[in-house]
Amino acid sequence: MNPRSWTADAEEAAIVAVAVHATDPITRLGAANILGGDGRVKVLADDELARAEVVVVIEQSVSDGTFAFLRDLRAASRLDPPPRCVIVTDNFRPDALMSAVECGMSAVLQRGTTGADELVRAVLAVSEGSAYLPPRLQGTLLAHLDRMRRDVLEPHGFTLSGLSGRERDVLRLLAEGNSTGEIAAELAYSESTVKNVLYGLMRRHGLTTRAHAVAFALRGGLI
């Protein structure tokens, strides 16, 4: 999604608690003033960072120190899920993309061209679950995901959804209202195999009932 096209829906969100991080104190003060000047954003003090819903990181170049800060902040967060991150930088290395994703990165903006209104829109949109990556980083992310699928997941029978093909088949039939016996007959499995498949995925994802498992798969678009 292009940040210039973020809609008014995100802009009408509730007040968003934001942490601002920059090694340059003048840059941090400027960004805090921009964000704090908008009534939909509350910029947190240093002793309130565990409450942050969105973290804005502004650096000329993103470094290992940046990621260490984000990991520490996410570990200290009182929120579930932990905060999302907007990175504003002039130099984002494509090989740092997966580290950034692991740290909650949801948007990357160009420091030299991002204006005040665009920064506010980005924060509000990210707080609502939107994301933005420049086209070159989108390609890098897709390449990483393809390698993960090919080299890590498929050799163990899993897909990018986190489910095996057998688990998806069982959940799909369960969502259609079939009993475990009917699923076993449809897939040519024993009924105990079907139950074991369900038990395994429910335990792995912290699901408590079969209905919960179906809802989890439907909400995530997994079936």
Alpha-carbon distance 13 to 204, whole Å? 34
Start and end residues for every CATH 1.10.10.10 domain found in the chain: 154-219
CATH architecture group of domain 3-134: 3-Layer(aba) Sandwich (3.40)
Q: Answer left, alpha or beta for residue 192, where phi above 0 means left and psi between -120 and 50 means alpha.
A: alpha
Judged by DSSP in three states, 118 sits in: helix
Mention every residue, 6+ apart, whose C-beta is less than 8 A from residue 76: 49, 50
Alpha-carbon distance 162 to 171, whole Å? 13
Start and end residues for every CATH 3.40.50.2300 domain found in the chain: 3-134
| CATH assignment, 154-219 | 1.10.10.10
Look at residue 31 in the predicted model and tell me its pLDDT: 94
- pLDDT of 9 higher than 60: no
Indicate yes or no: pTM above 0.85: no
Residue 117 · residue 11 · CB < 8 Å: no
Look at residue 122 in the predicted model and tell me its pLDDT: 93
Residue 11 pLDDT grade (very low, low, confident, very high; cuts 50, 70, 90)? very low
Residue 21 · residue 55 · CB < 8 Å: yes
Beta bridge partners, 164, equal: 158
User: Where is mean pLDDT largest: 28-32, 64-68, 101-105?
Assistant: 28-32
Alpha-carbon distance 178 to 85, whole Å? 42
pLDDT in tens, 183-222: 999 999 999 999 999 999 899 888 999 999 888 888 777 7
What value does the mean pLDDT take over residues 27-50? 92
- pLDDT of 159 higher than 80: no
Please give the DSSP secondary-structure letter assigned to residue 91.
Answer: E
